[in-house]
Chains A and B, each alone.
Chain A
Amino acid sequence: MLSPSANTACSAPGAVTGRIVAEAVRRHEERAGAPIDEAHAWRQGHQASGGLGPRIVARAVATRLGAQVAQSLERLRGLAAGATLVAAVLALISGMVAAGVVFGAAATEARGQLNIFWVLSSLLGLQTLLLLVWAVFMGLPRSRGGVLGQALIGATASLARRANRDGVHALTVVALLGWLERTGSARWAAGMLTHLLWVAFGVGALLMSVLALTFRQYDFVWGTTLLGEESFVALVAGMGALPSAIGLEVPDAALVSASRIGIESMPAGRRAWSTLLLASLLVYGIVPRLGLALVCRWRLSRGLRTTGLDLQAPGYQRLAPRLMPVSASLGVVDPAPAGVKAVGTRGRRPVTGQGPVLLVWLALEDDCREPLEGLADARVQVWGSVDDRRAQARLLTELPALAPPPAVVVVVSSLLRTPDRHATTLLAQVHSATPAPVWLVLTGADRSGGLGIDPAGRAAAWEAVAARAGIDAMVVETAEAAARGRLETVFARLADEESAGGA
């Protein structure tokens, strides 16, 4: 994160940067209320391959703001690296000062006598204690990963934000901190920095100790009032186990006993004791911290690398339709035929025939047929349904031969049907198969509401069909009305209309 490591650690170079840029752009857009509208960026996002995540990143990086954020992130990295370096140098100096104080005090106050355990606990005690505290806190779910590192991150962030409060840098810092939080990396970043600083401290202390032990002469002693000598022998053996395992010379039991305060010290023991001292600083101070820093760095980069964008964030989801459309048009693959041809011309035949009214119906529901069948009497001949091809063919062949020709041919259909070309053709054929006027009665208006059908719209469609087929009159009537025998009044009305129209 705030260290350059994030850059080198990510799988594809810039992958983590890209996500942080996307986060910054999203935050900006969520605050602004509308997505940045840059055609180039939309195109980049649209053309990117893969799922929504890569497309969002591609778009964000291609926006002007995205480029600025990326730059600012670069600058921030520099700033962070600088801050880390300064802090590390300070820690190194602190380490040197701490060691210097310990060795200096021994040189001046104790006439060159160095209490071995006192030195070790001054240089290693505090940080070991803090390490334990850190380890305990890392076990807690909400731990923040080390005070030192956190302070360093906070300081860098506030430094960067203060540099320009409203601008891109502030946005970048917010996006970065938010991203660390989201990926759960904040604690690892802070941990890594904390351990690095302690490594610097340890190195400082080690350097100073080497310096002091090289150019000054110390007698290593120890003393106790409460404990027995065996405890110290065991302690030294324990501490020396690791260094001696890698071949260093450490004090043996005899040397330990010989180094007790008050006993004349053996010059040969100085080397062994200083080896133990330096090795302890290295093995118990620097190495574990370095190891933990590496572990933290690994966790940090893994967290950054493996956590994808929060694609369900509204700010990302609203980009989805444009970045990753779920459909694409193929256009018209077979163009429309030329305009609809008229099948006949609208006629206005007078009622002249001597025969009965001929009643046929087309595409009616079953329960509408029965009342119509009941209308049969001397003046009304019920022909019946002409729904199927056979019935239609029969009507068309027998209609011209009817003698006397019917007074009117009434075709009853329903507003619930959508008129189609076949119906149009059929009506036109009926019209030319008889000299009588052909009327179209449309039932079903009363039921249309229940089915969500707009009767006016359907009537208009039928009107157009009637006109094309040359129908003489069209009337909208309910089936119920027809059943109650009022069809005749319809006929009467139509007849009036006819004679008025014919006059």
Chain B
Amino acid sequence: MAPEVLRVAVVGHTNTGKTSLLRTLLRDTHFGEVRDAPATTRHVEGAQLLVDGRALLALYDTPGLEDAPGILDWLEAHPGDRHEGARSLQRFLDTPEAAGRFEQEAKVLRQLQGSEVGLYVIDAREPVLPKYRDELAVLALCARPLLPVLNFIAGPGTRVAAWREALAELGLHTVIEFDSVVFDAVGERRLFEKLSSVLDQWRGPLGELRAARERDARWRREAATRLAADLLLDVAAAVALVDADDEIARSRDEAALREQVRERERRCTDQVIELFAFGGVEYAVDALPLEDGRWHTDLFTPEALGEYGLKAGRGAGVGAAAGLAVDALSAGLTLGVGTLTGAMLGALFGDRHGLGRRLFNRVRGYRELRVDDATLRLLALRQRRLLRALERRGHGAVAPLDTTDELDERWRSASLPRVLLRARARPEWSALNRHRAEAWSAPAAGRDEACVELAAQLGQALDPAGADAR
């Protein structure tokens, strides 16, 4: 009777990251217990991988193997007849030792026997010690295909070559490299591919699983870039009318606009984190370089710009506070030529909020205050960093999110995307210009398309130019 769900036992020495591997494959930060200590997991715990609600694969986390040499000693001390092979293991499992001194190991061996395949997790930083060979010898008695998984491979000091050689000597040629802390979608795909290479009859479900995971990743990325695009459009189109003559009112309005933008960035960050479901915002936030949900350095400081290799715009020089710029018409080309043309085009094509209204405001003694280009770039770069860090974080990771990453030149120095410049002239595109209490109004024309277009550009900038796709 063939089981409906492929059962996979995750086995290995203690503290090699078995539970972490499960967490990452399950996308569940709450599965089991993970600690850098021996014998953290002492029971067998299972979980299923689902596609559209259907279970396709069951993974079983097992206690670490700690005393395989002891089992071999026992088997040597209690020889059976010479050809019993796998039956010697059964003999061992039936003895009181298997319920006593070797109880933990017995659980692992029984689980492997009750599964179609085993993943043998290896800490690739470890030398190939005799005890590991003993483990492989004991596991081989279960007569199940065993796929070694080299874990910890994203870090320094690994001995991948030595392990591959040693495994090949033992006849284990299909070796998986997968780090459960630094997630790699390609690595995960290979893991499933290799599983199906040794389990031909499970090719179908494994292929489905692989496809579903690729689809999910694509969707999640699209959704996340749309959130970032939404943020950028909101901020680019944000505009505050300030009274040029009233110093106090002006600085108050400037402060209000900056606070609005900060709040908007925070909301976007929270939503992006939520998308990745790293187990609730409380957990994610203290693992992020965010303070209280905010980034460490305030958005509107030269330090924040400097961190990303940006320089403050010239807006600061003409009276507006850092990070803001006085409107192109009233204070020269602070927003750059591109913006100016964007604004003029908007005016030409019947935009109610274009040139005419600005001139009108100017005459009345008001100025329009906007967020400057450098701040837009900074927002984009920060979201990009966050997204890359989240995409490369396995659910097994427990350390703080690592957001050190190379910068994207396109967003740092190339000219800003045209959609953003268009947004400059479209105040109705920005939720920041709208009052909360306002009723539902028809969606602003062109906003949705602009968001999708900008999201696509952000998506392109996620992968380093020319490097690994996906």
Contact = CB atoms under 8 A, between A and B. Distances in A.
A314 B52 contact: no
A425 B275 contact: no
Nearest to B28: A327
Contact of B69 (A325, A392, A447): A392
Nearest to A426: B69
Interface stretch (A195-203, A335-343, A352-360): A335-343
B103 interface: yes
A332 B43 contact: yes
Interface residues of B, number: 73
B157 interface: yes
Interface in B436-456: 439-443, 448
A365 B440 contact: no
Contacts of A318: 223, 271, 274-275
A27 B37 CA distance: 47
A161 B440 contact: yes
Nearest to A169: B440
Interface in B10-42: 13-15, 25-28, 31, 36-39, 42
A389 B271 CA distance: 55
Interface string A400-421: 0000000000000000111111
Interface stretch (A13-21, A451-459, A489-497): A451-459
Contacts of B274: 318
Contacts of A317: 219-220, 222-223, 275
Given A365-B127, A461-B37, A420 B13 contact: yes
Given A326-B27, A451-B157, A340 B39 contact: yes
Contacts of B129: 363, 387
Contact of B224 (A314, A389, A420): A314
Contacts of A174: 440-443
Interface stretch (B53-61, B140-148, B240-248, B365-373): B53-61
Contact of B47 (A51, A321, A330, A454): A330
B50 interface: yes
B47 A328 contact: yes
Interface in A411-456: 416-422, 425, 447, 450-454
A422 B52 contact: no
A311 B52 CA distance: 14
A324 interface: yes
A337 B36 contact: no
A170 B216 contact: no
Contacts of A173: 440, 442
A366 B127 CA distance: 9
A334 B110 contact: yes
Interface in B188-241: 212-213, 216, 219-220, 222-224, 226-227, 230
Given A165-B439, A166-B439, A321-B277, A327 B219 contact: no
A329 B60 CA distance: 10
A422 B69 contact: yes
Given A312-B219, A333-B60, A419-B38, A326 B50 contact: yes
A422 B68 contact: yes
A392 B68 CA distance: 14
Q: Which secondary structure characterizes the binding site on chain A?
A: mixed
A389 B72 contact: yes
Contact of A450 (B126, B157, B213, B267): B157
Given A337-B103, A422-B67, A328 B39 contact: no
A318 B268 CA distance: 13
A119 to B, nearest CB: 42
B31 A329 contact: yes
Interface residues of A, number: 67
B63 interface: yes
Given A166-B440, A421-B66, A328 B155 contact: no
Given A326-B50, A389-B130, A420-B38, A313 B226 contact: yes
Contacts of B68: 422
Given A418-B38, A422-B68, A461-B37, A333 B52 contact: no
A49 interface: yes
A389 B134 contact: yes
B157 to A, nearest CB: 5
Contacts of B131: 363, 387, 420, 422
A324 B440 contact: no
B163 to A, nearest CB: 14
Contact of B275 (A314, A328, A450, A458): A314
Nearest to A447: B157
Nearest to B125: A451
Interface string B75-118: 00000000000000000000000000001100100110000000
Contacts of A27: 440
A141 interface: no
A247 interface: no
A249 B85 CA distance: 100
B265 to A, nearest CB: 14
B48 interface: yes
Contacts of A50: 52-53
Contacts of B277: 321
A329 B64 CA distance: 20
A360 to B, nearest CB: 14
A166 B50 CA distance: 41
A332 B42 CA distance: 10
Interface in B412-443: 439-443
Given A312-B222, A318-B275, A51 B216 contact: no
A347 to B, nearest CB: 22
Contacts of B259: none
Given A365-B127, A422-B70, A451-B157, A327 B443 contact: no
Contacts of B60: 333
Given A314-B275, A336-B63, A327 B26 contact: yes
A327 B216 CA distance: 13
Contact of A389 (B73, B440, B443): B73
B357 to A, nearest CB: 24
Nearest to A387: B130
Interface in B275-303: 275, 277
Contacts of B110: 334
Contacts of A334: 43-44, 107, 110-111
Contact of A425 (B43, B58, B67, B212): B67
A335 B104 CA distance: 10
A327 B50 contact: yes
B45 A330 contact: yes
A388 B127 CA distance: 13
B156 interface: yes
B373 to A, nearest CB: 25
B130 A388 contact: yes
30 contacts: A170-B440, A173-B442, A174-B440, A174-B441, A174-B442, A314-B224, A314-B226, A314-B275, A317-B220, A317-B222, A317-B223, A318-B223, A326-B49, A331-B46, A332-B43, A334-B110, A337-B104, A363-B131, A365-B127, A388-B69, A417-B126, A418-B14, A418-B15, A420-B67, A420-B131, A422-B66, A422-B68, A422-B69, A457-B37, A461-B38
In the A-B complex, list the 9 residue pairs whose CB atoms are closest, starting with the nearest.
Answer: A330-B46, A317-B223, A334-B44, A336-B42, A388-B130, A327-B26, A421-B66, A420-B66, A418-B15
Interface of A: 27, 33, 49-52, 157, 161, 165-166, 170-171, 173-174, 177-178, 181-182, 311-314, 316-318, 320-321, 324-337, 340, 363, 365-366, 387-389, 392-393, 416-422, 425, 447, 450-454, 457-458, 461
Given A333-B45, A389-B69, A450-B156, 12 more contacts: A174-B440, A177-B442, A324-B52, A325-B50, A326-B212, A327-B27, A329-B45, A330-B47, A419-B38, A450-B157, A451-B125, A454-B36
